[in-house]
Structure 1
Amino acid sequence: MSADLAAPAAFQDQPISQLLVKVATRCNIDCSYCYWFRDAAVYDKPKLMSAGVLQQLLRRIEEHVSRYDLVAFPIVLHGGEPLLWGVENFHRFAEACEAISSRTGCTIPIAVTTNGVLIDAAWLNCFETHDIAVAISLDGPAHIHDIHRRTFQGTGTHAAVERAARLLVGRDIAVTALAVCNPAYPPTHYVDFFAGCGITSYDIMIPDATVDEKPPSIAAFYNGLFELWMAANRSRPAVSIRTISDMVAALLGNNSPTEGVGHKPVELCTVMTDGTIEAHDVLRIAGDGFTKTTFNIFDHLIDDVRNEPRWKAARDASINLCEKCRQCRFMNACGGGYLPHRFSRANGYDNPSVYCDDLYAMFENMQAVLERQLYVRRPDGERLSLRDALASH
């Protein structure tokens, strides 16, 4: 099977199709690997989004969806820790988006990414009432989670976060868990833990690192995780592990919704607590002020950011791959890997991912397994493995 099944069509300019809204720039816990605080410029921003900025943001959202006649416009509330913004502000924001939807016909799905520590009955009611999807940061079992995700006093946060996750699962709320891979531990530790919590949708994300760093190898971990995903999905209910399912989809020639998988432009727009507009927030791992622009929601429309030089540079870098990537047989499926992982001080984004060798090994393993596991049926009814079917042509 060729991993290069279908080259992407020419990348067309299109309006911003989703927003990442930073409603808080501070956090209530101290995660050692957090990309957000690698950039000291976050401390120059207001701690919380004000009522004035919120009202202007809502005006811009309605202008944007009306101007481009959008059918849907997803918004993710983010931080820091977004629940520091307060439950009343969440109600206010969700009700305003519901009103915009009724006036424009555009669906505005709202999601939040939270560490979960503050979740209580009031938050559960808010999420359930407004159909707010929740991604909770939970690095699997306590012995892995508490290595990096600790309080400012140095104590682990796992007990509080696991409690929040179980409360969410028990309500009518769309829940996804977000873990960061620690390759020192086998993937079964994560998979068994999430199964025990009743969480069937989660991701185990590749740790953030630039080319100037030397992160440990991840290929063995993800190859093992792929085997577990295959086994889990032979039964019901099915388990969704985002990184794995998106890599498989990309190998089969389908578009992946994940920014770090597939050859496609990264066109995220981030609105900060003061109303300034930036590119993808994870690009902060490149250093201080690296995402800063001169645009804001008071002087500019949301889609104006597409003309901002630093935003355009990040967008262009996401699809203009280095020479090694352009020659790779997994180029379309991989897309060069996650954009922040391609950054170096010397060459900017003109590098293979710091995880290039691992990604190649992961895609190679997946392709070999899929060739054995997927079948096609000939017109005469004969059933062949995909590998045999391709070999016969």
Structure 2
Amino acid sequence: MHDIVLKIHQRCNLACDYCYVYETVDQSWRDRPAAMPQDVWEAAVDAIGRHAAAHGSRGVRVILHGGEPLLFGTERIGALTTRLRGAVPDTCAVEVGMQTNGVLLTERRLDALRPHGIAFGVSIDGVPEVHDAHRVTRSGRGSFAAAARALDLLRRPEHRASYAGILCTVSAGTDPIACYEQLLAFDPPTVDLLLPHANWQHPPQRPHDDARTAYADWLIAVFDRWYSGGETRIRLFEDVISLLLGGGSRSEQIGLSPAAVVVIESDGAIEQVDALKSAYPGACATGLDIRHDELDRVLDDPGVIARQLGLAALSDTCRACPVHPVCGAGHYAHRFRPGQGFHNPSVYCADLRKLIEHVHGRLSEDVRRRVAGQVTGA
């Protein structure tokens, strides 16, 4: 496993309307402890250390997640990361990240956590009116101002090393360039653009019935601006370009790379990536517990095995599609259809194909121009 997600706090101080943890079919969070108990997080970090030693890992990435992970408390987060760094061999580098909504990320907390080397990713969905339409407090108030304050703190020179980037969920039908420019205003080192978690049973919202490729249209507008300017890194676009050029992908959203993420829930359950909660109750479950089972055991789970098959896991429809080596049928969770499981194209199939073909066209035109210029210069 390259990435290990620790669900250190199971509750959240926001009530985002598209959240796959609280607003979709799997409601297992209700039966789990709000905060990860000490015996669970100690068992988790010790197991990570044994896993790294057994495999001679040169590096491991641990993401502190929730809910809202800052609800776990600064002192406990510090104790966890200290034990984690001591648990792995000296030859293994530990990268600790945290995905937060930013509401609780104050200067005091940043100062307290800086010695622990945590890189913070902040979730923000572009301009205030879009963000505040979806990412609200329990009382229904928008959270843009609080997230913006957190990002302004991370931009400061003294905190810049703790700034991992921005996560933005795409909202089709909104102004993509206004969103992109708002994100750029926070000077992010990287941006992750995520498609809302949806599937064939619960399809994504589109602006109108004819908007079959509304998400592609949104992404293409941002891609063209980004491709011409290159003001920051956008992982989705970089991965599409890499795959088109014969390279690999770092994202679960695209490509055929094996899944390398495992989640440890607040009760100790070892599970698959938690986006699968959007498919059906128990879709993430493996039946394993970090207090009793080693991390390697998750590799024997049928669901995990299926996600390592690459091309062999694709439906006939996908394998017949010319862009399947790049698309890879999209995010695994987006393939689900009742009665057929995950052996389907992505519910975003038309969007992904349109985006990939557009990027291919831009790259091909650049190559033709470069070759023509070299021939003319010769």
| Shared fold, TM over 0.5 | yes
CA deviation digits over 1:216-244, x for unaligned, max 9?
Answer: 231111111110111222xxxx4112211
Partner residue in 2 for 1:296? 289
Q: Which amino acid aligns with 1:343?
A: F
Corresponding residue for residue 211 of structure 1: 200
Decide whether the 8 Å contact of 1:178 with 1:205 is kept in 2. Answer: yes
Does 2:276 match 1:257? no
Distance 1:317-1:42 versus aligned 2 partners, 3 A rule = farther
The one-letter code sitting in structure 2 at the alignment partner of 1:109 is E
The residue matched to 2:13 in structure 1 has which SS?
Answer: coil
Aligned to 1:188, which of 151, 171, 177?
177
CA shift for structure 1 position 201: 1.8
User: Which AA in structure 1 matches 2:355?
Assistant: M
Separation of aligned partners in 2, 1:29 and 1:77: 17
Letter in 2 for 1:189: A
Pairing 1:166–2:142 present:
no
**1:119 counterpart = 2:116:** no
Aligned pair partner of 1:36 in 1, 14, 21: 21
- 1:377 positional shift: 7.3
Offset from partner CA, 1:309-335 (integer Å, 9 cap, x none)? 343344448851001111111111111
Q: Which amino acid aligns with 2:261?
A: L
Q: Is residue 374 of structure 2 the alignment partner of residue 383 of structure 1?
A: yes
Q: Relative to structure 2, which stretch is displaced further, 206-215 or 274-283? A: 206-215
Residue in structure 2 matched with residue 231 of structure 1 by the alignment:
228
- In the TM superposition, what is the alpha-carbon distance from 1:374 to its structure 2 partner? 3.0
What is the number of equivalent residue pairs in this alignment? 363
Judged with a 3 Å threshold, the aligned counterparts in structure 2 of structure 1 residues 208 and 297 are, in CA distance, closer, same or farther, namely same
**What is the rounded CA distance, in whole Å, between the counterparts of 2:163 and 2:184 in structure 1?**
16
Report the AA paired with residue 222 of structure 1: L
1:212: how far off? Answer: 1.8
Checking the alignment, whether the CA contact within 8 Å between 2:311 and 2:319 is kept in structure 1 is no
Aligned residues of 1:318 and 1:339 also touching (Cα < 8 A): no
Q: Residue 198 of structure 2: SS of its match in structure 1?
A: coil
Shift in CA distance, 384/97, structure 1 to aligned 2, threshold 3 Å: farther
Query: Counterparts of 1:168 and 1:100 in 2: how far apart (Å)?
Result: 28
Among candidates 2, 7, 10, match of residue 25 of structure 1: 10
* TM value normalised by structure 2: 0.91
Q: TM-score, normalised by structure 1?
A: 0.88
Alpha-carbon distance, 1:70 to partner: 0.4
Structure-1 separation of matches of 2:72 and 2:288: 23
- Give the match for residue 4 of structure 1: none
Corresponding letter in the other structure for 2:226: W
Q: Note the C-alpha offset of 1:73.
A: 0.8
> 2:211 matched to which residue of 1?
none
1:317 to 1:245, Cα distance in 2 relative to 1, 3 A: closer
CA drift at 1:128? 2.6
The amino acid that maps onto 1:19 is I
